[in-house]
Amino acid sequence: MLWTWQVGTAWYRSAKDANAVNRELVESIKTAIHAGYRHLDSAEAYENEESVGQAIVESGVPRGDIFLTTKVAAGLKATTAVEALTKQLALLQTSYVDLYLIHWPFDLGKEGFPTHEEAWKQFEEVKTKGLAKVSSVAWAGATVVVASRIGALTDAGSDGTVTVDRSVQLQA
């Protein structure tokens, strides 16, 4: 069984300085890892990636035994997905993530952000460079729109994954 240890909103900006290591969070994640959790979920927006990376290193569990997810949102406005993930990987102290998600796809196509098509091409490049094993889109509310816009872009060799989030607040 693959349990997910989500360290998102409960730990959002919980360190005194953005992107600083939060020792309480590190210890919590290490406890989860030692209890058998192997899927760790973090995000640029939560500013917890440095603590997640530190916990993985300190846990002593090989990186390959952990399924690591992280997400990008605002980072797509300032730079490309490859550049954003490279910065995130440095914080996470790893050379790759297992799953890389567009955290908030609703901004795609707005001023300063890439279009849906441009973002998907950037995420394909992330996979090609070996920075992420799978890249995808989070949030069910955007799934149909994003899937229809990127559907023509996915090659037969691409996994073309679109994550479906069955959040209660999105089912109304």
Instruction: List, by residue number, the catalytic residues.
Output: 46, 103
59-79: b or e for each residue (b if 16 or more CB lie within 10 Å)? bebebeebbbbbbbbebbeee
DSSP annotation string for 87-105: HHHHHHTSS-EEEEEES-G
Q: Is 130 exposed, middle or buried (0-12, 13-18, 19+ CB in 10 A)?
A: exposed
Q: Are 75 and 104 in contact (CB under 8 A)?
A: no
